[in-house]
Chain A
């Protein structure tokens, strides 16, 4: 029984990070109308950049998070206009073209990482690595608890910005109806670019933490992309609240499968559930997923 609770606890802790990952992704989708196929690669790059910054400066990765946020935010801000240009082009099927475009970006990131850094695994150690919190018969790794705390803070801040600031209001307006937002004087392009920047920054930070908790190789990007899809699909694209629940579902599912079924089958199970969710869950998908 304690194993079960321990597993659930681990899953929930990890779920927090998945929520942080998916929320940025869902917002980017809502505001820019773009399914970013490169989301997992942002995570991967976050892990690597975090690793190298840690290696060069010796600063604890948790303290490096703001720097990573700024770096990735800047990169996202620069990339956003290109994405939007494709999305709003007058050529046929802009939604598919932008899909292909982000897919291409993902390839560039993955290929670049492979070429620059090879196949080897990199791992970041933090001061919290050795800390374990004990209570009620279960042991919680301090690192994961801290990461969970970060995720909580990030998501909390996220909602604060979205619902309590003027900028957040503008973001929600753009997500609802770009045309109307523009008519109300909102600079849709700038808001979109900022949203994408926030998303990239947040996702980069998640990558750093993933590199600390697990490790990072250039190949992990695909996995995190699928995780982000999983959460957002299960939640129903556009449902920010649903992301909170679905993120934890993913974390728990992954933990339970790893412990009770088999470590090697974890991905199979997650991919299978993702596939089935897409097929079977019309609610939330009914508005945008069907022809």
Chain B
């Protein structure tokens, strides 16, 4: 890889006695869509929390665009161009969908925020609920709203944490089209997903995590045939 957009080295995070992330190491090239899969509890969301600065790593480094951002505060990392969604939708509960989007631009291009919000509402088919309080939206709509919020800032790298979970199939297609379109215009994606079909069609490359470690990395075909991956998901063959 020439100059990776994101490089993670020896990342480690422990909670009490549990090692959530154990020496993770990988790189992401510009405009790649990298999928991260793995059984529940394998450390995927923790990894996202570490990269976005929500958690501080116990060891290791995170380098974004050549800059060491290890230990940086979340808002500093966000301002550098990294955006993320959350596994459990973290919308602004008392605000309308419209205000959610506007607020997302409060530290970015505020002058053009209304236009941008209009575009995103239309793009994500949230027009009809623009004035509905966010906590009254359905789970799928909240996921869409979160995506819209992230997009308001035009980040360079976007971390999507199970963004299609619980989303209606038609809306899911909308999301994926948006992701592909954004990749074409220069955005890079790290995507945590459980839907294998989605991962197969969307991602260039896949990282498989288990017990906090990356146990396999490669194209879908490669990792699907990898014995460690099979063992992680299905268990060891008894014969």
A contacts B directly in the complex (CB < 8 Å)? yes
Chain A contacts to B: CB under 8 angstroms = 92
Chain A residues in 8 Å Cβ range of B94: 92
In the complex, whether B217 has a CB less than 8 A from a CB of chain A is: no
A118 to B93, CA, bound (A): 45
Instruction: Say how far B78's CB is from chain A's closest CB, in angstroms.
Output: 16
In the complex, whether B135 has a CB less than 8 A from a CB of chain A is: yes
Instruction: Say how far B26's CB is from chain A's closest CB, in angstroms.
Output: 29
A92 to B93, CA, bound (A): 8
Complex A-B: 3 CB contacts under 8 Å: A92-B93, A92-B94, A92-B135
Interfacial residues of chain B within 88-112, with CB under 8 A of chain A in the complex: 93-94
Overall SS of chain B's interface: loop
Overall SS of chain A's interface: loop
Instruction: Say how far A285's CB is from chain B's closest CB, in angstroms.
Output: 15
A56 to B55, CA, bound (A): 61
Question: Which residue from chain A places its CB closest to the CB of B16 in the assembled complex?
Answer: A287
Closest 3 CB pairs of A and B: A92-B94, A92-B93, A92-B135
A92 to B133, CA, bound (A): 11
Interfacial residues of chain B within 43-96, with CB under 8 A of chain A in the complex: 93-94
Instruction: Say how far A88's CB is from chain B's closest CB, in angstroms.
Output: 15
Instruction: Say how far B142's CB is from chain A's closest CB, in angstroms.
Output: 15
A92 to B94, CA, bound (A): 7
Chain B residues in 8 Å Cβ range of A92: 93-94, 135
Chain A residues in 8 Å Cβ range of B135: 92
Chain A residues in 8 Å Cβ range of B93: 92
Instruction: Say how far A283's CB is from chain B's closest CB, in angstroms.
Output: 11
Instruction: Say how far A97's CB is from chain B's closest CB, in angstroms.
Output: 13
Instruction: Say how far B164's CB is from chain A's closest CB, in angstroms.
Output: 25
A92 to B92, CA, bound (A): 11
Instruction: Say how far A259's CB is from chain B's closest CB, in angstroms.
Output: 41
Question: Which residue from chain B places its CB closest to the CB of A90 in the assembled complex?
Answer: B135
Instruction: Say how far B175's CB is from chain A's closest CB, in angstroms.
Output: 27
Question: Which residue from chain A places its CB closest to the CB of B133 in the assembled complex?
Answer: A92
Interfacial residues of chain B within 127-144, with CB under 8 A of chain A in the complex: 135
Instruction: Say how far B181's CB is from chain A's closest CB, in angstroms.
Output: 35
A92 to B135, CA, bound (A): 9
Instruction: Say how far B56's CB is from chain A's closest CB, in angstroms.
Output: 12
Question: Which residue from chain A places its CB closest to the CB of B135 in the assembled complex?
Answer: A92
Question: Which residue from chain A places its CB closest to the CB of B93 in the assembled complex?
Answer: A92
A115 to B140, CA, bound (A): 54
Instruction: Say how far A84's CB is from chain B's closest CB, in angstroms.
Output: 21
A92 to B91, CA, bound (A): 13
Instruction: Say how far B45's CB is from chain A's closest CB, in angstroms.
Output: 17
Interfacial residues of chain B within 181-199, with CB under 8 A of chain A in the complex: none
A240 to B43, CA, bound (A): 30
A288 to B135, CA, bound (A): 23
Instruction: Say how far A179's CB is from chain B's closest CB, in angstroms.
Output: 15
A182 to B93, CA, bound (A): 27
A91 to B94, CA, bound (A): 10
Instruction: Say how far B206's CB is from chain A's closest CB, in angstroms.
Output: 33
A92 to B136, CA, bound (A): 11
Instruction: Say how far B109's CB is from chain A's closest CB, in angstroms.
Output: 27
Instruction: Say how far A176's CB is from chain B's closest CB, in angstroms.
Output: 15
Question: Which residue from chain A places its CB closest to the CB of B94 in the assembled complex?
Answer: A92
Instruction: Say how far A287's CB is from chain B's closest CB, in angstroms.
Output: 9
Instruction: Say how far A247's CB is from chain B's closest CB, in angstroms.
Output: 25
Instruction: Say how far B15's CB is from chain A's closest CB, in angstroms.
Output: 10
Instruction: Say how far B104's CB is from chain A's closest CB, in angstroms.
Output: 19
A197 to B139, CA, bound (A): 38
